[in-house]
Structure 1
Amino acid sequence: MDRAYWEEVWREEDLGFHQSQVNRHLQRFWSRLKLAPEARVLVPLCGKSLDMSWLLSEGHDVIGVDFSRKAQEDFLATRQEAVRYSQQKDLYLAYQGALLFVAGDVFHLRQEMLRSVDAVYDRAALVALPPATRQNYAFFLAQCLRPGAQILLVTRQAPEERLSPPFNISAEEVDRLYGTNFRIERLQREERGDGVIEEVYLMKRKTPKAFGRLPGDACEARQASS
């Protein structure tokens, strides 16, 4: 992923992707995952999204990940709780109540963080990745998430393809990226007034058919090669 691009986005505060309200798809469909309140949720490329505050209010432990330390600082400043910081190589970790906000590359997350994840909420990650990186991202999630872990994915298709995020993601691409390792259910297809089509998917990690290496082992190998 282009770290320099995202650092410039936050430095220039070019934050057109930031929503001023909690995402309506999250509020409408989150209950379909049937998670326990204490379930742990990963929010990749989270920015300073209000969606994380909503997930925390539902009782979840939340792991937010973003390249930008400014995103980390801005979000933490909105919450009136003490923060404890630590660093693991190039990852800057901030613990605040039930929140762990990691500033760094999602591909560098430690495997024990991801093995404990029950669900992923992805409104801003897949649509932010260029085509060459999407396959790596989908494979990384498949290898690091335990069987039964779920993903709530929100995608978009604009009338004209963009040269910068958010990118168009078709239903065919979702199936190509995730179909081998996840059961996919499309929950909604909605065309907005501006012509943008938003689709919402619920995906569940399949049990791998091959025996031997566990998903986390492959995750560890992927991190070691990064």
Structure 2
Amino acid sequence: MADHGASIVVGVDLAAMALRLQRERSFSEVEYTCTECALVGGGIVKVCNGVCGGCALRLFEGDMFELPPVAAFHGTRADFVYDRASMMAIPPLMRELYVRAVASVLKPTAGLMVERPIQEEGDESGPPFSFSADQVQALYEAATGRRYEVRAMENRWDGSLEPGAVHYYEFLRVYPKLCL
């Protein structure tokens, strides 16, 4: 996204190693300034800021559910969100809370790409937890009060032959319906 004209790219992960690998793989030339912010209920979130070309990079290491009150997160307004594996990792009963946290930083015209596992009908095991395009639409509409269009963009085979593993993933394009 930084290479395609984004003015700010925000990343969030609970795992320090995942963020470190992302920095090394995608932004190895960037120097980061990292600070720790205290959370209201206790605990901390680490925030790393850097610049790549003209794009600001802001990476949060911490629990996504704890981030909305953090000024550096709450003050962010996103044009686009790529949910690579978050919604599929979250138990179904926590999805509404997760979507509200994501929606809190969306601009009214922001779009999303949500990766979802394609599993056998009725497979409730996880993670990854399966969900439908209709569920994504309903969750974002409830969280934002806006109408959304959700369409499948493409499917991907992960190449794994491990029994019980998810082999196909679908990428959903989620955009607000704009009145003209």
Flag whether TM exceeds 0.5 (same fold). yes
1:166 aligned to 128, 146, 159, which one? 128
Q: Distance in 1 between matches of 2:20 and 2:104?
A: 30
Contact persistence 1:151–1:204 (CA under 8 A): no
1:96 aligned onto 2:77: no
Q: Unaligned regions of 5+ residues in structure 1, if any? A: 1-54, 208-226
The one of 95, 108, 113 aligned to 2:73: 113
AA aligned to 1:198 is E
CA RMSD across the alignment? 2.9
By percentage of residues, which structure has more strand?
A: 2
Structure 2: distance between partners of 1:205 and 1:102: 30
Give the TM-score of the pair, scaled to structure 2: 0.69
1:57-136, aligned counterparts within 5 Å? 57-60=3-6, 61-78=8-25, 79-89=28-38, 90-97=44-51, 98-109=56-67, 110=70, 113-114=73-74, 115-136=76-97
Q: CA deviation at 1:184?
A: 1.8
Deviations 1:19-77 (A, max 9, x none): xxxxxxxxxxxxxxxxxxxxxxxxxxxxxxxxxxxx22223221100001222223323
Displacement after TM superposition at 1:197 (Å): 5.6
User: What's the CA shift string for 1:187-225, capped at 9, x where partnerless?
Assistant: 436485987362422222889xxxxxxxxxxxxxxxxxx
Structure 2 unaligned runs (5+)? 39-43, 160-165
| Counterpart Cα distance in 2 of 1:145 and 1:205 | 14
* 2:162 matches 1:202: no
Counterparts of 1:75 and 1:191 in 2: how far apart (Å)?
21
SS of equivalent to 1:76: helix
Number of the residue aligned with 1:56: 2
From 118, 136, 139, the counterpart of 1:177: 139
Q: Tell me which amino acid in the other structure corresponds to 2:116.
A: T
Rounded Cα–Cα distance in structure 1 between residues aligned with 2:48 and 2:167: 39
Higher helix fraction (1 or 2): 1
State the distance in 2 between where 1:191 and 1:69 align.
27
Residue identity in the other structure for 2:17: K
Percent of pairs with identical residues: 25
Contact 1:67–1:105 (CA under 8 A) maintained in structure 2: yes
Contact 1:119–1:149 (8 Å) recurs in 2 = yes
CA distance in structure 2 between the partners assigned to 1:88 and 1:191 by the alignment? 37
Aligned pair count reads 153
